[in-house]
Structure 1
Amino acid sequence: MNFIKKNAYLLVAFVICLAIVSCSQSPQKDKKEVHTILTGRLTMVVDESLEPIVEDQMIVFEHTYVDADITLKSEPEKRAVNSLLNDSVKVAVLARKLTEDERKFFEAKKIIPREARFATDGVALIANRSSNDSTVHVDDIIKKLRGEDTDLSTLVFDNPNSSTVRYLQELAGIDQLPEDGVYALSSNADVIRYVYENTHAIGVIGINWIFQPDPELKDFVEGVKILGVKNQTGSKGDDDFYKPSQTNLALGTYPLARDLYIINCQGIKGLGLGFSAFLTGERGQRIVLKSGLMPDSIPPREINIIE
């Protein structure tokens, strides 16, 4: 009897050990599947002209919060907004706010979009370094876009669906680009290459592509120059030709400035909210400052005085 009991105890002990080992080897739930403001997975769309600064922010954010996984999709503005509206993404970084109709679309779905401004960008005009052009007047840009006579050279945009096209169309009060003398390519990188190879062209791009070029674009960027822009009479910046520097963006003297927003339509306290808080917080604003754009709020500087 004692022998039987002893073997029974050993069998029970073996089963318990087997269960413990089995539990310890069971797959752990991926922390990136747990959705909070600092964990989980997020697909975010960004206006192609703003890609460099958003990519920098994403890299630092993911390095800081290792359980956060953000996939970045770069698209022209119209496609980026359509991605929001067709529900393929929930978060976007754009050079404008949502329109009233777009907000109503989300509100009808019981979602209140959260819009947060995080920087001011400049739409830059660039020319080949050997070009005689070094300045341009806003009036000439408007005339060119309206198809009127002007001495302005060929104007080249990044994409027909881009935010830069929309921005300058609104400035000129037109619905579409003229057929002659104004062309749209595929991307900001294409514009930089085109201007590098053509002395007669003036390119229209997001300034971040000049301040933070991709390694393969570095030689092309060194072969172009940023033009000074003078505003229309009666508007701020009409007294001189200004370039899109941080100082001129801060003072409002650069005529072609635009605010940048992160738009969160998740409807929950998810990773989009966390990334938005990072962008608008001190660390994100320091990244904006370092990028050459104008942060929405100037990060404080700490000065240590050694006695």
Structure 2
Amino acid sequence: MQALRFIIGSFVLAVGLFACGPGDGRQEYTDTPVKGTITISADESFKPIVDALIQVYESNNDSTKINVQYKPESECIKDLWNDSIRMVISTIKLTDAEVQSVVDSMHIVVKQLPVARDAVAVIANPASKDTLLTMAEIQMILTGNYTRPLVPVLDGLRSTSTIRFLVDSVLKGQKLTDKAKGANTSDSVINYVAKVPDAIGFIGVSWIGNQDDARQLSFLKKVKIVQLESSDKPDKYVLPVQANIYTKRYPMTRDLTYILKEGHRGLGTGFADFMSGEIGQLIFKKAYLMPGRRNFIVRPAETKE
């Protein structure tokens, strides 16, 4: 997080130094919430869910085109200072001061909103015996101090939201082992873990959560999901299902947020409203994320043998 804050601060300074005056702030726009073309930037860890959201939005509004560039999270943050990028979707939430810095530098309205809660899922090779892990054991795996030589496999070794979460929220200052493997994409992480018995992967749950997605079902035939010790009940192990993500019983959760830069009611606003509206929230729910803008009721249930 500190590294990303440095990136944000550096860009604010650079834009401030090279700005060419305030201008009159007026610009001709050709897009509306239901017409036009825009480009957005999204954390590549969330490609399945962002693809699904865009597909439905464009289907419902056939005069729209949303071009998405998938990048590591740090590259998405740089796009806050890119005039051609209308929106950023990632796990970063700017502070009030950072929002104001973007507003002052870019002379544009900035809005941000968490629209869903995600989880970092842990996956193992089908032959692995490590199917129940505590967070202390996760730390040992990531630092290379686990009782068995498990190799952590990540979607890259720097700059992604998954890496930032593991370094900031799990390792908390400890060094990631040099034995960690970096894959180009989340599906590459899945394929690597499926082939290597001692590998253990870390990916966003949206890559394996949609039970109606044939590709994701094929992933689940290759690997198995590790259960982590519940954050509220020692010795109880839980999966990253929506109820556990909602209550944060699953210990590795994070919010998915959009940051919109738009000085008019355009296509970016339309897509933002869609994500936080009923249909968008249902798409998040279907993808195994926890909808962030709708109430979620957890009901007790019993199974009969």
TM beyond 0.5: yes
Q: Deviations over 1:37-56 (max 9, x none)?
A: 22211111111111111111
Q: How far has the Cα of 1:298 moved from its partner?
A: 3.6
Counterpart residue number, 1:114: 111
CA distance in 2, matches of 1:245, 1:116: 23
Unaligned runs of 5+ in 2: 1-28, 298-305
The residue type paired with residue 144 of structure 1 is: I
- The answer on 1:186 being equivalent to 2:170 is no
Deviation at 1:292, TM superposition (A): 1.5
One-letter amino acid of the structure 2 residue matched with residue 240 of structure 1: K
Q: Secondary structure at the match of 2:70?
A: strand
Task: Decide which moves more: 101-110 or 33-42.
Answer: 101-110
Contact 1:106 1:113 (8 Å CA) reproduced: yes
RMSD: 2.4
Percent identity among equivalent residues?
Answer: 32
- Give the corresponding residue for 1:195: 193
Give 1:237 shift.
Answer: 5.0
Matched AA of 1:127: A
Distance 1:176 1:48 in 2: 24
- For 1:224, the equivalent position in structure 2 comes to 223
Alignment match, 1:12: none
Q: Name the CA distance, whole Å, in 2 between partners of 1:282 and 1:198.
A: 41
1:47 aligned residue: 43
1:175–1:242 CA distance, 2 compared to 1 (3 A): same
| Partner SS, residue 170 of structure 1 | helix
Give the TM-score normalised by structure 2.
0.79
| Counterpart Cα distance in 1 of 2:121 and 2:193 | 13
Q: Is contact 1:285–1:299 with CA below 8 Å preserved after alignment?
A: no
- Between the aligned partners of 2:38 and 2:273, the Cα distance in structure 1 is 15
Amino acid at match of 1:230: E
- Secondary structure, in 3 states, of the residue corresponding to 1:108? helix
Q: 1:225 to 1:176 in 2, by over 3 A?
A: same
Larger radius of gyration: 1
Task: Please give the residue correspondences for 1:1-307 in structure 2 after superposition, counting only pairs within 5 Å.
Answer: 34-99=30-95, 102-109=98-105, 110-148=107-145, 150-151=147-148, 153-159=150-156, 160-171=158-169, 172-174=171-173, 177-180=176-179, 182-212=180-210, 219-230=218-229, 235-298=231-294
195-204 vs 36-45, greater mean Cα deviation:
36-45
CA drift at 1:92? 1.2
Residue by residue over 1:130-176, the C-alpha shift from the partner in whole angstroms, topping out at 9 and shown as x without a partner, is 21111111112223334545446111101122100000100212386
- Distance in 2 of aligned mates of 1:105 and 1:253: 36
Cα deviation for residue 205 of structure 1 reads 0.4
